[in-house]
Structure 1
Amino acid sequence: MEYETAGVDEVRSVVEDDDGEMWPLRGLLGCDRLSLTVVELAPGGRGVEYRHSGGDTETVYLAVEGTLDIDCTRRSGTVETITLDTFEAARLPPDQSRQLVNRGDDHVRVVVASTV
C-alpha cells in the first residue's frame, strides 16, 4: 500500500507573526488536487481576508482546537460571522470573501482543505 504522512513539525510555517502560524502540508503529502493546511491563531489573531477568484475551488474549515470565527463579507459590504466550535466544519464557495478570526482567550487550530 502506498501512502504519505506529514505533520506540522516537518514543515516550516509560512506565516510566523503575533497573530499565528500556518503550515501547508500539500507538498509533503504529494497532493495534486487537494490543498491541506493547518492554521493556528493566537487570541485576538486574524488571518488575511481573501477569496478564490474564478474557478470552482471548494474550501472546508474544520476547527480542531478552540472556537473559530469566519467573517464572511457579502457583496453588499455586510459581514456575516460563522462560528465553529471544536470539531465543527463549514464549507465556503470560491467567490465568498472570508477572514479567519480568533475572538477567544485561547489559541485556535483549524484544518483547511481545498480543491486546487
Structure 2
Amino acid sequence: MSYTHAAATDVESVMDADYGGMWFLRDALATEELGVTILELEPGARGKEHDHASDGQEEVYVCVHGVVDVDFDGGDDEGGETVRLAENEAVRVSAGQTRQLQNRGDERAKLVLVGTSSER
C-alpha cells in the first residue's frame, strides 16, 4: 500500500489569520502533479485576483462549508460573471481564466482547492 497522510496543521497558513487561512498540502502529501489546498475565508475576506495562464494549472474549487463567490473577469460589477458556491458545490476553472474568491456571506467559508497542470 502506498499513501501519504497530511493535515492542515502539518503546514503553516500562507494567509493572515484575520482573513481566514490557506494551507498548501502539495509538499506535505508529496504529490507530483496534483495541488491540494484548504482555504478558509472570514466574512468580507477575499483571495487575490489571478489566473494560471503561465503554468497551465486547471483548478476545481469545492465549497465544504458556508457560501463563497467566485468572480470571473472582475465579477458581475465589472462586466464579468460571478458564480456563488454553496456547501457541496464545485466549479472547474480553466488555467487562463481570471478568478477571485470572495466571502460575501455572514459566516466563515471553507473550501478545498485542487489543481493540476494540463501541460504534461
Fold shared by both chains (TM-score > 0.5): yes
Shift of 1:66: 0.5
**Per-residue CA shift, 1:60-108, capped at 9, x if unaligned?**
000011111100017xx51210111101100011111000000000000
What's the counterpart of residue 54 of structure 1?
54
What's the counterpart of residue 33 of structure 1?
33
* Counterpart Cα distance in 2 of 1:20 and 1:73: 23
What SS does the aligned partner of 2:27 have? helix
What's the counterpart of residue 103 of structure 1?
104
Shift of 1:17: 4.1
What SS does the aligned partner of 1:58 have? strand
Query: Runs of 5+ in structure 2 lacking a partner?
Result: none
1:11 and 2:11 aligned? yes
How many residue pairs get matched? Answer: 114
Q: Which sits farther off after the overlay, 23-32 or 65-74?
A: 65-74
* Counterpart Cα distance in 2 of 1:56 and 1:102: 26
Q: CA RMSD in A?
A: 1.3
Provide the TM-score with structure 1 as the length reference. 0.92
* Counterpart Cα distance in 2 of 1:20 and 1:37: 13
* Counterpart Cα distance in 1 of 2:81 and 2:13: 29
Provide the TM-score with structure 2 as the length reference. 0.89
Hey, which bits of structure 1, 4+ residues long, moved more than 6 A? none
Alignment of 1:61-100 (within 5 A): 61-73=61-73, 78-100=79-101
Report the CA distance shift for 1:16/1:55 in structure 2 as closer, same or farther (over 3 A).
closer
Query: Runs of 5+ in structure 1 lacking a partner?
Result: none
Q: Percent identity?
A: 40
* Counterpart Cα distance in 2 of 1:98 and 1:20: 18
Q: Which sits farther off after the overlay, 17-26 or 31-40?
A: 17-26
